[in-house]
Structure 1
Amino acid sequence: MKFLILSQYFYPEVGATQTRLAGTAAEIVLAGHEVEVLTGLPNAPAGKIFPDYRGRFYMRDEWNGCPVHRTWLYAATGKSLARVMNYGSFALASWWEARRVKKPDYVFVESPPLTTAWPGLRIAKKLGARLIFNVSDLWPDSVRDLGVMSDGRAFRTLEKMEIGIYRKSFAVTAVTEGIRDRIINVKGIPAEKVLFLPNGADTDTYRPLPPDTELAAKLGLTGKKVVYFAGTLGYAQGLHSVITAAETLQRNQPLVHFLFIGEGPEKPRLKEAVATKGLRNVSFVDAVPAKEISRYASIAMCGLVQLLDIPLFEGARPGKTTAIMSCGRPVIYAVRGEGVRLMERSNAGWVIPPMDPDALVGAILEMVANPDEVQRRGENGRRYIEQHMTWEILVRDWLSQLERLSAATRA
């Protein structure tokens, strides 16, 4: 089978989408199929074209043997009109540059943003391919639930567009059980065309390492009990509650240190809050390539996963969860819903309510007092990933689902 992956985001950018697509593409190739990628010039998460790609309207390179076509887009971030231009420019440019790709059997469209469906539908029709719409976040539901859009005419128009895309797709792939259930039960899409491909982990990229003492010294973290957060520093993560917890721990347990790794629209405000409170137990580093995360995990006591306490995220399963587990570190999991079941099955960390500074402080103090249990739960997480959630296991299962759907359609 031949796949064209259409996504606004791809390697060498860092983020959940980029990690998921890299893992998926690599395993599709290892399973004996072909993959080609059509994406934008790298710019996320900062919304600035990477230096090596500036001044270009189109660039072709390769990633792991896969041809990658990169097209210009209006680089931007945040919630402004500029972000609308960012989405719209990629939709138009990717449709135009699709003339360079080979004819695929399937066009695999990554969403969000929902706007990528427009070129996806047209490319699939023009090339005589089947469309697979991969839903990692429900748009426009999530935009409404985060308060960016009201439940009015614009929302209803986008929802009709969303459901129309699902109906026109050969298959719809859901990243979480919650998304899958909502697509079937609320959006009214037949269960037989909804496939499941959850976030997995690359156990070679994310792996347990001996403590990197050189890195710890460089960051001023020698001897510290480090709690790290790696990923987008955005509104949806509710990270100001972590700053509140840090304020308490600076008084009660000064060995604990919070390390934020990444970029995002909330980063300037988080840094401002740290400075205003005079906190010495919080630091920030810029986003690093995925292959570097294991080094940071090696000097950490645990990793943190958090999202806002809203109904939307009860069906979430953040990709950073499996990365932390794969690195052999326990997870402080501050998200409601589906991911809690994963933590219970794996016994790979501590589950607390989202955005609850007192609960976060309590979990961290328990970990500091019980290093053997911290070690045990970290090992549990790595073992669980190896047995159930490698990209090889998940993608091979997804390919089987796709083949069954294709066979049923032919019949």
Structure 2
Amino acid sequence: MKILVVCQYYYPEPFRISDICESLVQMGHDVTVLTGLPNYPEGKVLDGYRYGKKRNEVLNGVKVIRSFEIGRGSNKVKLFLNYLSFAVSGSFKALFLKGDYDVILVNQLSPVMMGIPAIVYKKKHKKKILLYCLDLWPESLAAGGIKENSFIYKIFKNISKWIYSSADSIAVTSGMFKDYFKNVLNVNKSGIYHIPQYAEEIFTESISVVDDGKYNFVFAGNIGDMQSVDTLVKAANELREHSNIKFHIVGDGSRLEECKDLAKKLKLNNIVFYGRRPLSEMPYFYGLADAMLVTLKNNKFISYTLPGKVQSYMAAGKPIIGAINGETNRLIKEAECGLCCSAEDYVELAEKILQFCNSNEKEAMAQNSNEFYSKNFSKQRFMSLLEEALTKLEG
């Protein structure tokens, strides 16, 4: 198949879509990606991509077309301009693309408007769209502080409904997303597939780290408003007297400095912030961890999300300690791969961490984690399901 992929983010930005596209090429498909200029999570467009540079390139067999985009910056105004700039410039680029693609794949994170260029291409060339939904809209706005009765929320609810309805099929990362489409947005499609994410192979690599006599707990991923990483900082404060427990926060995002300031204000010496690290270093941090940490905000619909880091944690065969509701809470309990409490409850999270330290089930949790991943989230299974869904829309 000749596949047009539309996603605002692509390599060198740290998203799984790059690996997906390269895997589709390895499977024999011709893949072109319409994307923006790399600026996530730093907020500024990377130097090598400014002033018209690298607008067209081939990366590991994937043809990449980049449209103009304003860096996401560090405030909501700049972020809105970032969202809008790709939707507009990407749509303009889509108008001039050739009509010989067989099918369109939208890898939809935030914002949902990144799907608009795909709709423009669909309308002009009568092609079909598979939208892979990783972030629910407009609920991502609500979780970010936009009130549901506000004018802005209502506008984006209508935009979101239009974009989701314009897709010919929808794939979701969490089974609970189906309920949201049906009951909240009234998007009742027969072709809604559950295709959970996988983890890159690097997360299965095992690196032995010298035992420092401590229980090490690692969070790895984006540190934004949705992730509620301040819950981890507050839990670390609850455990400050336990000198054998240490927290490691690996990642970057809009709330990193706020979390670092909170840790400094609380005078914590049991938590380390590493910032964004290259993917190649992740096996070290995973090897360091006795258990991995996952948190999300206390929001009903955001709790429908299954963060991609969960699959990475499981692929590495690590127990998971979570302060999270909904799908992830259910999964951790079903897999018997860790311990979980309610979202944002840092006191109970601290208790769960202590419970883990004193548990005799650590090795069993680790084994359950890896086995559950192999059965439900393998890359081979993901690519097979994705290819099948795209083939159904071909032509």
Compute the TM-score of the two structures, normalised by the length of structure 1. Answer: 0.88
Hey, what does 1:71 align to over in structure 2?
A: 67
Hey, what does 1:97 align to over in structure 2?
A: 93
Q: Secondary structure at the match of 2:290?
A: strand
CA distance change for structure 1 residues 135 and 328 in 2, over 3 Å: closer, same or farther? same
CA deviation string 1:3-55 (max 9, x = no partner):
111111112212xxx12x23432443344322211111211012112233333
How many residues align structurally? 393
Hey, what does 1:170 align to over in structure 2?
A: 168
Equivalent residue for 1:235, pick from 225, 231, 243: 225
CA deviation string 1:341-377 (max 9, x = no partner):
322332211112222222222222222223x522221
Do structure 1's residue 341 and structure 2's residue 339 form an aligned pair? no
Superposed displacement of residue 102, structure 1: 7.0
Contact 1:179 1:315 in 2 (8 A): yes
Cα distance in 1 for partners of 2:379, 2:67 equals 27
Superposed displacement of residue 235, structure 1: 1.8
Which residue identity is paired with 1:54? R
Equivalent positions of 1:284-295 (< 5 A) are 284-295=273-284
Q: Secondary structure at the match of 2:240?
A: helix
Superposed displacement of residue 321, structure 1: 0.7
Cα distance in 2 for partners of 1:153, 1:236 equals 22
Hey, what does 2:112 align to over in structure 1?
A: 114
Which residue identity is paired with 2:174? T
Equivalent residue for 1:209, pick from 206, 210, 213: 206
Cα distance in 1 for partners of 2:20, 2:7 equals 13
Hey, what does 2:239 align to over in structure 1?
A: 249
Superposed displacement of residue 250, structure 1: 1.8
Superposed displacement of residue 324, structure 1: 0.8
Hey, what does 1:364 align to over in structure 2?
A: 353
Equivalent positions of 1:322-333 (< 5 A) are 322-333=311-322
Cα distance in 2 for partners of 1:206, 1:63 equals 22
Superposed displacement of residue 105, structure 1: 1.4
CA distance change for structure 1 residues 173 and 254 in 2, over 3 Å: closer, same or farther? same
Hey, what does 1:381 align to over in structure 2?
A: 369
Residues 105-114 or 273-282, more deviating = 105-114
Contact 1:326 1:385 in 2 (8 A): yes
Contact 2:319 2:365 in 1 (8 A): yes
Q: Secondary structure at the match of 1:103?
A: coil
CA deviation string 1:123-173 (max 9, x = no partner):
222344212222211211221243224423332232222222222222122
CA deviation string 1:189-226 (max 9, x = no partner):
23312222222222x2211413234xx9xxxxx44321
Equivalent residue for 1:267, pick from 256, 265, 282: 256
Contact 2:335 2:369 in 1 (8 A): yes
Q: Secondary structure at the match of 1:188?
A: coil
Contact 1:58 1:71 in 2 (8 A): no
Cα distance in 2 for partners of 1:258, 1:191 equals 43
Cα distance in 2 for partners of 1:80, 1:286 equals 22
Which residue identity is paired with 1:378? A
Cα distance in 1 for partners of 2:362, 2:47 equals 41
Hey, what does 2:156 align to over in structure 1?
A: 158
Cα distance in 2 for partners of 1:13, 1:341 equals 30
Contact 2:252 2:276 in 1 (8 A): yes
Equivalent residue for 2:268, pick from 279, 285, 291: 279
Which residue identity is paired with 2:173? V
Q: Secondary structure at the match of 1:363?
A: helix
Hey, what does 1:39 align to over in structure 2?
A: 35
What root-mean-square deviation, in Å, do the aligned CA atoms of Structure 1 and Structure 2 show? 2.3
Superposed displacement of residue 79, structure 1: 4.6
Superposed displacement of residue 118, structure 1: 2.3
Cα distance in 1 for partners of 2:49, 2:151 equals 39
CA distance change for structure 1 residues 300 and 129 in 2, over 3 Å: closer, same or farther? same
Equivalent residue for 2:185, pick from 176, 179, 187: 187
Q: Secondary structure at the match of 2:18?
A: helix
Contact 2:340 2:349 in 1 (8 A): no
Q: Secondary structure at the match of 1:22?
A: helix
Structure 1: 5+ residue stretches without partners? 217-221
CA distance change for structure 1 residues 53 and 145 in 2, over 3 Å: closer, same or farther? closer
CA distance change for structure 1 residues 357 and 234 in 2, over 3 Å: closer, same or farther? same
CA distance change for structure 1 residues 114 and 210 in 2, over 3 Å: closer, same or farther? closer
Contact 2:322 2:349 in 1 (8 A): no
Cα distance in 2 for partners of 1:310, 1:36 equals 36
Per residue, is there more helix in 1 or in 2?
A: 1
Cα distance in 1 for partners of 2:44, 2:141 equals 23
Contact 1:37 1:66 in 2 (8 A): yes
